[in-house]
Amino acid sequence: MKKYQGVFERIKNKYPELINERPLYYKEAAELYDQISIVYDDYPMFLQQAVIHGGPILELCCGSGRLTLPLLKAGFRITAVDLSEDMLLNLRQQLEKNKRYEKYKNNVSLVCQDMTKLDLDETYNIIMIGATSIRLMEKDFIAFFNEMHDLLNPGGCLFFNIEDLPASRRSNEAENPMGVFDFEEKDGKLALICMQRFIDYEEKRATVNFIKIVPGTEEKILLSQTEYRIFGKEDIEFAAEKSKFGSCEIIKDANSVNYFCRMLKKN
Ligand SMILES: C[S@@+](CC[C@H](N)C(=O)[O-])C[C@H]1O[C@@H](n2cnc3c(N)ncnc32)[C@H](O)[C@@H]1O
């Protein structure tokens, strides 16, 4: 599918000299993600599962530590994996700069790896993936779940959240609504962020486009994009049944339209 669509495509084509284009999670768009990620409030469920299963935790797609940092403060030992050096750098900087994390620093390892090609020499009590990031993974779900099964200790748990997207557009669904947010930058300036998701139900893929503008500055418009596959909870249930886990418990997220998926490795 086309990376940029609608007004994002028009701005990119018409004003290339005004644009700083970065893939989401890289360079300036790493900070952009952190600004918009405040919409997620999935931490309590991840904490609950961490308490039930205990550490060590393997957190995939950790980003700049939205879940990692509070879990670390709660006393868990964590291996935090992300594909983006820039997101991991933001996490490392928070660990180094903020005195609150000083005493927990030895409990966390930061690893820059692709979650579909992990090379780790430990096994874990829980593997977690926050912010519905499993959809960024292109691998077949059954193969991925089997790899996660091998990385878990007996009794361990794979826990992640998903957006349950329908196989075709719902008749009452508004087409591609645009979200507009205002944020305060670190230097106090106003930033305006517009984001819009475009779904191709035939290709079963979505592209999400972003622009960030800081009015009154010389800064270029930040144009960013990410894309992922779309699927529903029945796709996860089917793959879990075919995988070494054998089943998946699906739990509705009371705070959003999302679902949590919980798969247990038998003792
Ligand atoms: C939606 S963000 C989630 C960040 C953080 N966990 C949170 O909850 O806010 C997705 C993260 O997954 C990372 N990512 C994308 N594809 C990946 C892959 N194949 N392996 C590991 N990390 C990946 C991105 O770099 C990004 O930091």
Calculate mean pLDDT across residues 200-220.
92
Is the residue at 1 inside a domain?
Answer: no
Say how far apart CA 131 and CA 37 lie, in whole Å: 8
Q: Are residues 50 and 151 in the same domain?
A: yes
Q: Are residues 102 and 197 in the same domain?
A: no
Model pLDDT, residue 221: 94
Model pLDDT, residue 198: 94
Q: How many domains does the chain have?
A: 2
Q: Are residues 85 and 217 in the same domain?
A: no
> Comparing C-alpha atoms, which of 91, 73, 100, 78 is closest to residue 37?
91
Q: Are residues 154 and 62 in the same domain?
A: yes
Model pLDDT, residue 171: 62
Q: Are residues 57 and 85 in the same domain?
A: yes
CB of 59 sitting under 6 A from ligand 1: no
* Domain CATH code at residue 130: 3.40.50.150
Model pLDDT, residue 174: 65
CB of 35 sitting under 6 A from ligand 1: no
- pTM here is 0.95
Please write the tens of the pLDDT for every residue from 29-62: 999 999 998 888 899 999 999 999 999 999 999 9
CB of 68 sitting under 6 A from ligand 1: no
Say how far apart CA 109 and CA 115 lie, in whole Å: 15
Calculate mean pLDDT across residues 190-212.
95
> Comparing C-alpha atoms, which of 251, 252, 247 is closest to residue 263?
247
CB of 83 sitting under 6 A from ligand 1: yes
Average pLDDT, the chain: 94
CB of 65 sitting under 6 A from ligand 1: no
Q: Are residues 17 and 106 in the same domain?
A: no
The closest-lying atom of ligand 1 relative to the alpha carbon of residue 34 is 9
Q: Are residues 104 and 158 in the same domain?
A: yes
Is the residue at 111 inside a domain?
Answer: yes
The closest-lying atom of ligand 1 relative to the alpha carbon of residue 63 is 27
- Judge whether 17 and 218 are in contact, CB under 8 Å: no
Q: Edge-to-edge, what's the strand order for the sheet holding 249-252? A: 108-112, 78-82, 57-60, 124-129, 152-163, 258-264, 249-252
Please write the tens of the pLDDT for every residue from 119-173: 999 999 999 999 999 999 999 999 999 999 999 999 999 999 999 887 777 666 6
Residue written as token pair 């499993």: 134
Please enumerate in sequence order all residues whose Cβ is within 8 A of that of 36, keeping only pairs 6 or more positions apart, or say none: 181, 193, 195, 210
Residue written as token pair 């964590």: 78
Centre of ligand 1 to C-alpha 135, Å, is: 10
Q: Mark 151-176 as b/e (b = at least 16 C-beta within 10 Å).
A: bbbeebbbbbbbbbbeeeeeeeeeee
Q: Are residues 131 and 260 in the same domain?
A: yes
Which residue range(s) make up the domain with 140?
38-164+231-264
CB of 243 sitting under 6 A from ligand 1: no
